[in-house]
Amino acid sequence: MVLTGTLMRFTGLRGSHLQAAALGSIGLCLVLWMRAAGLDQEERGNAERRAIFVGLWAPTLLLLEQSARESG
């Protein structure tokens, strides 16, 4: 995780940015999921998979935030 911390310091990325991105991905996931309810059966499965994919970004971003916090 040293490389990740170094890269985040070089780019100026902070833990608060990653937390905001994680919350944003959760919000986007919910919007995509609710929007999928209005689609027909064929398109609904694809839209739900897209919502799940976006929802999986949050844990990754939160782990990166934790790495940034621990590396200083």
Q: What is the pTM of this model?
A: 0.79
Measured between alpha carbons, how far is 54 from 13 in angstroms, rounded to an integer? Answer: 20
Residue 60's pLDDT band (cuts 50, 70, 90): very high
Alpha helices per DSSP H over 1-72: 2-11, 15-36, 41-55, 57-71
Q: Note the maximum CA span of the chain.
A: 49
How confident is the model over 48-57, as pLDDT tens digits?
999 999 999 9
- Pairwise CA distance, residues 36 & 52, whole Å: 11
Q: Domain map of the chain by residue range?
A: 2-71
The DSSP output letter for 39 is S
